[in-house]
Amino acid sequence: MSRIEMPKPDPLVISRKPEIFAALCAAIGAQDVISDPAETLAYECDALTAYRCPPLAVVLPRSTADVARVLKICSRFGVPVVPRGSGTSLAGGALPTADCVVVGVSRLNKVLETHYPDRYIRVEAGITNLNVSAAVEAEGFFYAPDPSSQLACAIAGNIAMNSGGAHCLKYGVTTNNLLGVTLVTMDGEIVEIGGPWCDGAGYDLLGIVCGSEGQFGIVTEAVLRILRKPEGARPILMGFDSSEVAGACVADIIKSGVLPVAMEFMDGPAIIACENFAHAGYPTDVEALLIVEVEGSPTEIDDQLARIKQVAQRHSPKVMRESASAVQSDLIWKGRKAAFGAMGQMADYMCMDGTIPTSQLPFVLRRMSEMAKEYGLGVANVFHAGDGNLHPLILFDANKPGDQEKCEDFGSDILRLCVEVGGCLTGEHGVGIEKRDLMHHQFTVQDMEIQMRVKDVFDPAWLLNPAKVFPMDVSHSRRHRNKRSAA
């Protein structure tokens, strides 16, 4: 069923499995090395579940030094390494190959230091996103990036994919909130990059490590910026007759000078699915729903919402309902956050992640519904409207022959459309394997060549997550070079 090609496993590596396993056990202890197929099952895929492959072995190190030992061994044997946070990637970023060692950082999950006056927290990278905020909540602080999977996803994965969330219009994404990392490179060297200060010296290595999809090294620790929570926050719901009108309203709110912390958009099918699932009180007779949230003291919130309502009135909303209590606010967000679960109850789905210039929103939504008809598949849209990051959910039936392929084709068409109108293939999920072969649509060979040269610096043998991000033909000679040297 799977159509995304993965490299053929290296027979030499496979043949040396017992030796590699023994070396890993000797280095970090047998209790932290898994190779029994029954136990590696859980590591065969990430959240892109259509693609699976049992790895050669899985290691679950307990320290940075362990990670360094493991990488040294893998380097010596020429074994590809697939880093893994919590395995929530929707792009196949943690998909193993049969000849790889998966290095999972889930046991590195401690908070190492919190410093409120300097406003940072130092954590081991396997800690979940939500646990970072939880660690500083009692002091009134939070960690800003909040991907939908924040309950499960690890900071390591957030750094690898430069994850975003619903609140990045105001607070930015991972890269804007990351101050430093401890990175273990493929040769086992431990490198500290950045730290709890604003500007480093020299090149912004932190900036390229973030979002490098686990291809430069394994991040074992991170220094993150923490922020004081605002006094309060309040969402407002607005329902419109058409997506075009809702899109125009988003543009006008931004132009008015108000900076909401979040502006979430749902189209008709998404509204109905979420309402049936979460009973959030969404109006089901509208074609588009906006959730706009602002922060501050009660009077500041009143002031900002008054401005937003004034702008929205010009677009004749069918419904405009300000949350009147914390319970109502939770309910409004519960509906939105349940979107994926709600769709999952109705059908199998694939979640796309392209970004478009917000001015192209009406055109792209119209084009998408036309394409849905052509493909005969349903599509529901929930997305971050302020920043143009779309999440079309394409519905299909995994048990129906050919449906998944049709869904993938539709998804590719959507992403190509995003690039055509001036946007990009992925706003926050990463390229992984899922969008790897579409990179040609966004980049020239030269654009990709210079990126691969950066990987050459960090991982000259191309052992780290090698078959991801770049189209197979583009990375072929580099991956091949690695095989030759290993043999």
Binding mask 427-466 for another protein (x = CB under 8 A): xxxxx---x---x--xxx-xxx-xx-xxxxxx--------
Tokens of 329: 């606010």
Site string for another protein, 354-373 (x = CB under 8 A): -xxxxx--------------
Residue list 380-419, contact with another protein (CB under 8 A): 384, 387-389
**Residues 440-454, buried b or exposed e (16+ Cβ, 10 A)?**
eebbeeeebeebbee
437 secondary structure, DSSP code: G
Angstrom CA distances, 310 to 3, 107, 110, 115, 266, stand at 50, 50, 47, 41, 21
Q: To 5 degrees, how large is the angle CA 400–CA 403–CA 405?
A: 135
- For residue 60, the minimal CB distance to another protein (Å) is 26
Q: Could you say which residues in the range 115-134 bind another protein, by CB under 8 A?
A: 115-120
Site string for another protein, 240-279 (x = CB under 8 A): -----------xx-xx-xxx--------------------
Among the residue ranges 21-29, 42-50, 224-232, 263-271, the one whose residues contact another protein (CB under 8 A) = 224-232
Which pair of structure tokens corresponds to residue 107? 């046991």
Query: What's the closest the beta carbon of residue 474 comes to another protein, in angstroms?
Result: 11
Taking CB under 8 A as the criterion, the residue among 289, 461, 469, 474 binding another protein is 469
Size of the site for another protein (CB under 8 A): 91
Neighbours of 115 (CB within 10 A): 12
299-328: which residues touch another protein (CB under 8 A)?
299-300, 303-304, 307
Among residues 47, 81, 127, 425, the one that binds another protein under rule CB under 8 A: 425
Q: Which of 1, 38, 138, 198 binds another protein (CB under 8 A)?
A: 198
Footprint of another protein on residues 22-81 (CB under 8 A)?
Answer: none
Closest contact distance (angstroms) between CB of 271 and another protein is 23
Length of the chain equals 487
The only residue of 426, 465, 475, 482 in contact with another protein, by rule CB under 8 A? 426
Query: Is residue 146 involved in binding another protein (CB under 8 A)?
Result: no
Q: State the number of CA atoms in the 13 A half-sphere of 264 facing the CB.
A: 23
Q: Which of 7, 9, 188, 200 binds another protein (CB under 8 A)?
A: 200
Whose Cβ is closer to another protein: residue 58's or residue 474's?
Answer: 474
Q: How far apart are CA 419 and CA 442, in angstroms?
A: 6
Which lies closer to another protein via its Cβ, residue 345 or residue 359? 359
CB nearer to another protein: pick between 314 and 400: 314
Query: Which segment (30-38, 271-279, 318-326, 423-431) binds another protein by CB under 8 A?
Result: 423-431
Rounded to whole angstroms, what are the CA distances from 186 to 31, 73, 125, 257, 444?
Answer: 23, 9, 17, 47, 28
For residues 68 and 56, give the distance between their C-alpha atoms in angstroms, rounded to a whole number.
19
C-beta of 446: minimal distance to another protein in Å? 5
Please, what is the minimum distance in Å from the beta carbon of residue 198 to another protein?
5
**Nearer to another protein among residue 138 and residue 198 (C-beta):** 198
Write down the least CB distance from residue 483 to another protein, Å. Answer: 22
For residues 84-98, one letter each, b for 16 or more C-beta atoms within 10 angstroms of the residue's C-beta and e for the rest, the string is bbbbbbbbbbbbbbb
Q: Alpha-carbon dihedral of residues 353, 358, 363, 368, nearest 10 degrees?
A: 10
User: Residue 152 phi/psi, 5° resolution?
Assistant: -110, -35
Residue closer to another protein by CB (options 28, 250) is 250
Alpha helices in 29-109 (DSSP H): 37-40, 64-77
* Shortest Cβ 301–another protein spacing (Å): 10
Q: How far apart are CA 18 and CA 281, in angstroms?
A: 58
- Enter the DSSP assignment of 212: S
Q: By C-beta, is 17 or 307 nearer to another protein?
A: 307
The torsion defined by the Cα of 186, 192, 193 and 194, in degrees rounded to 10, comes to: 170
Going from the C-alpha of 130 to that of each of 165, 226, 391, 418, 426, the distances in angstroms are 12, 13, 22, 31, 23
Nearer to another protein, 57 or 250 (CB): 250
* Chain residues 158-197 in contact with another protein, contact rule CB under 8 A: 161-162, 164, 168, 172-173, 175-176, 189, 191-197
Distance of alpha carbon 248 from its chain centroid, rounded?
Answer: 27
